């Protein structure tokens, strides 16, 4: 075989027989119990969070519309998508290091020599034309240094993909919780406005009786106090509603149409029940846990690159082309030219390689600790949500009974006062108790639904395929408006 063809052929085959010096990867044992705490009592007859897409988990049509709007226009999610795209491009750059960079070049050299420097004793002008195709300083990856760096870049890309998926889950849950909070605050505003209207009527009645001399001044001022308190509460809830709406618009990326906003919490269909399963192994599919594991694999691959630095590095510079002293004879037969120059660099003493190797091992240990912490944090998130779900039902039942009792107490106290049997102090106490009980009931209803959303997010709700972006941000201003 012609050695001119043999050299590129061998060079092309060498990367295929390369290996890496990275340690064999093994997933660290999860530093959490194999099952959930005893007080969590996970459901077993409901679908798993991973099997339930977010449109199925949120049955309320208006909430689904707001979430879709946010997924299309959120700047935070756009940044996560762009970061993943950047990591993928960087991986492509690193992977391309395994292949030679072939470049074409064309050169012209004209040179004039004076007579005293010319071999003929006369001044001469020479010309040289050449066209070449070649590779410069291509490293042949005998010991897997480039492959290790390629694997590290690949795992960093996987980590960015999981970060994007986590950002999407966080966006979905944040929109849902903000939407539910807005609904609860609007319901509290309705309760406050109803209470203010009732207290104004009571105050008008007391003032009329005071003008007739039937009640003392003390009752008049006692009746005025809750009116002012209710006015303050109405203003506070109006502020909360406005701030909730601003937060929802920020998450959605565009102003949410008023027709999509909830009137109160009861008008919102609650999220679907989900099961956490009996084993905590479901946490291993959470995006933050998968992201930490990908970063651990990247650190493991970096050790291979650090180990390869102790071995020789072999590079090759080669070119093939044609050359002539005359442009017209550049491509004639017999004008072929070629060259190749292999180079071997053998490290003898470089203290930096030992420090780099130790640093890569420490970085791997740091990544192990971060992975274990991610698993522990995920376990606590799910366990807390399960514990809350196990107890919120009892709290809601008790609070509903309390609201009924305080409402009846207020009704009886008001009736006794109107008949002159009791003082207005009992009416005032009944109003305060009823208002506080109604607010507490709304807060518990919000907590129950928001906890379902937190549990869904804590379990990494939705299959990974669901979070593959089917949309693209075409420009910095290419936002979609609601229909």
Listed by start position, the domains of the chain span 18-98+141-311+351-467, 101-140+314-346
pLDDT tens, residue by residue, 228-275:
888 898 999 999 999 999 999 999 999 999 999 999 999 999 999 888
**pLDDT on residue 298:** 94
What is the CATH class of 101-140+314-346?
mainly beta
pLDDT given at position 34: 86
**Which pTM does this prediction carry?**
0.81
What pLDDT digit, counting tens, does each position of 130-163 carry? 888 888 888 888 888 889 999 999 999 999 999 9
Per-residue pLDDT at 173 exceeds 90: yes
The domains spanning 18-98+141-311+351-467 and 101-140+314-346 adopt the same CATH topology: no
Q: What is the pLDDT of residues 34-71, one digit of tens each?
A: 888 865 555 667 888 888 889 999 999 999 999 999 99
| Range from 59-68, 78-87, 418-427 carrying the lowest mean pLDDT | 418-427
**Residue 18 pLDDT grade (very low, low, confident, very high; cuts 50, 70, 90):** low
The pLDDT score that the predictor gives to residue 13 is: 46
pLDDT of residue 206 exceeding 80, the answer is no
Q: What are phi and psi of 283, to 5 degrees?
A: -65, -20
Q: What percent of the chain has pLDDT over 90?
A: 35
What is residue 473's predicted lDDT score, i.e. its pLDDT? 41
Q: What is the pLDDT of residue 128?
A: 81
CATH of segment(s) 18-98+141-311+351-467 = 1.20.1600.10
Task: Report whether pLDDT(15) > 60.
Answer: no
Specify the pLDDT at position 7: 47
């Amino acid at each position: 075989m012609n050695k001119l063809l043999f050299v590129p052929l061998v060079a092309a085959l060498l990367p295929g027989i390369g290996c890496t010096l990275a340690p064999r990867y093994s997933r660290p044992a999860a530093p959490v119990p194999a099952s959930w705490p005893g007080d969590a009592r996970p459901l077993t007859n409901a679908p798993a969070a991973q099997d339930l897409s977010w449109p199925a988990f949120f049955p309320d049509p208006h909430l689904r519309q707001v979430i879709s709007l946010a997924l299309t226009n959120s700047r935070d999610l756009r940044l996560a998508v762009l970061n993943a795209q950047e990591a993928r491009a960087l991986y492509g750059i690193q992977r391309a290091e395994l292949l030679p960079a072939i470049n074409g070049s064309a050169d012209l050299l004209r040179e004039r020599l004076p007579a005293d420097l010319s071999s003929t004793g006369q001044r001469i002008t020479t010309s040289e034309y050449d066209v070449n195709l070649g590779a410069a300083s291509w490293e042949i990856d005998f010991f897997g240094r480039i492959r290790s760096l390629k694997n590290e870049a690949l795992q960093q890309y996987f980590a960015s993909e999981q970060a994007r998926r986590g950002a999407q889950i966080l966006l979905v849950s944040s929109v849902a919780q903000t939407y539910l909070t807005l609904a609860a605050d609007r319901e509290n505003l309705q309760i406050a406005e109803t209470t203010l209207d009732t207290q104004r009527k009571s105050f008008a009645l007391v003032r009329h009786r005071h003008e007739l001399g039937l009640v003392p001044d003390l009752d008049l001022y006692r009746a005025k106090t809750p009116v002012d308190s209710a006015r303050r509460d109405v203003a506070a809830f109006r502020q909360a509603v406005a701030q909730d709406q601003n937060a929802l618009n920020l998450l959605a990326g565009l102003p949410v149409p008023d027709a999509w906003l909830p009137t109160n919490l009861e008008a919102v269909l609650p999220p679907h029940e989900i099961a956490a399963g009996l084993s905590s192994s479901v946490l291993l599919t959470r995006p933050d846990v998968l992201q930490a594991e990908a970063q651990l694999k990247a650190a493991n691959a970096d050790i291979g690159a650090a180990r390869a630095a102790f071995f020789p590095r072999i590079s090759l510079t080669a070119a093939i082309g044609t050359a002539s002293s005359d442009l017209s004879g550049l491509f004639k037969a017999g004008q072929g030219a070629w060259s190749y120059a292999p180079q071997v660099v053998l490290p003898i003493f470089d203290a930096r390689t030992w420090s780099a190797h130790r640093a890569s091992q420490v970085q791997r240990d740091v990544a192990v600790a971060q992975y274990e912490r991610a698993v522990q944090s995920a376990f606590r998130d799910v366990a807390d949500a399960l514990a809350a779900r196990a107890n919120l039902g009892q709290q809601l039942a008790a609070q509903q009974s309390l609201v009924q009792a305080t409402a009846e107490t207020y009704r009886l106290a008001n009736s006794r006062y109107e008949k002159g049997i009791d003082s207005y102090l009992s009416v005032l106490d009944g109003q305060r108790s009823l208002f506080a009980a109604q607010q507490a009931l709304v807060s518990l209803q919000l907590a129950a639904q928001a906890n379902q959303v937190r549990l869904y997010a804590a379990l990494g709700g939705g299959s990974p395929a669901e979070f593959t972006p089917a949309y693209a941000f075409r420009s910095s201003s290419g936002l979609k408006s609601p229909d």
